[in-house]
Chains A and B, each alone.
Chain A
Amino acid sequence: IVLTQSPGTVSLSPGDSATLSCRASQSVRSGYLAWYQQKPGQAPRLLIFGASSRATGIPDRFSGSGSGTDFTLTISRLEPEDFAVYYCQQYGSSYQNSFGRGTKLEIK
């Protein structure tokens, strides 16, 4: 399954809301999709699993939604520390799991 993330880069200001898209080339079974945040020089951090479940310690301004082939990560009330690269990953394929290429969220 190929995951296409859009936009490639998005420029927003603190306090704005961000909507990041992850589109799959085939349906992702049972919503087995995760989102990760990665800041420069750091490892990825799990934000969302199962399309909409927040990982431990993740603020509620992060929310995930979607099913089938279309998934969204929404970040409301952007904080300065939210500016990073975001990756989606599907783990429901019967063949292979895969990552998207990422969306960079930068400060406007």
Chain B
Amino acid sequence: QVQLQESGPGLVRPSETLSLTCSIIGDSFIAYYWTWVRQPDGKGLEWIGRLYHTGNTNYNPSLKGRVTMSLDTSKNHFSLTLNSVTAADTAVYYCARGVVVPAAKWNYMDVWGKGTTVTVSS
């Protein structure tokens, strides 16, 4: 059964870059959207973006060009980079597998990692 595992620093300083990796265990990249979602403490879910196995990406416009996603097929993982972070970027970050839905532009997520907490603070 597929598992996803997030990793990365738990503390990032303001104005610096947040970098996280999601390892895909027990599955391949093919035919899914690989997605990042975050959740500030006590708040709801925010979709950050997704990455298709072809390398195509879609990002949340609210993040204003600060986000980049990439995949490393040799290591079976994908990554999230968020630049110029502020305290508002403090959250639990989840990676998730998105199911391709024919005729739909977007997708739902059927497998989630456990999440990793990132705090932005000096």
Residues of chain A touching chain B, judged by Cβ–Cβ distance below 8 Å, are 29-30, 32, 34, 36, 42-46, 49-50, 55-56, 87, 89-94, 96-102
Contacts and interface: CB of A to CB of B under 8 A. Distances in A.
A9 to B, nearest CB: 13
B33 to A, nearest CB: 10
B44 A97 contact: no
Contact of A44 (B61, B94, B103, B104): B94
Query: Chain A interface secondary structure, helix, strand, loop or mixed?
Result: loop
A49 B60 CA distance: 21
A42 B114 CA distance: 6
B45 interface: yes
Given A49-B99, A99-B44, A102-B44, A91 B94 contact: no
A43 to B, nearest CB: 4
A29 B109 CA distance: 18
Given A43-B94, A43-B114, A101 B104 contact: no
A46 B110 contact: yes
Nearest to B35: A97
Nearest to B45: A99
B47 A43 contact: no
B45 A91 contact: no
Nearest to A101: B44
A91 B47 CA distance: 11
Interface in B69-122: 94, 96, 99, 101, 103-110, 112-115
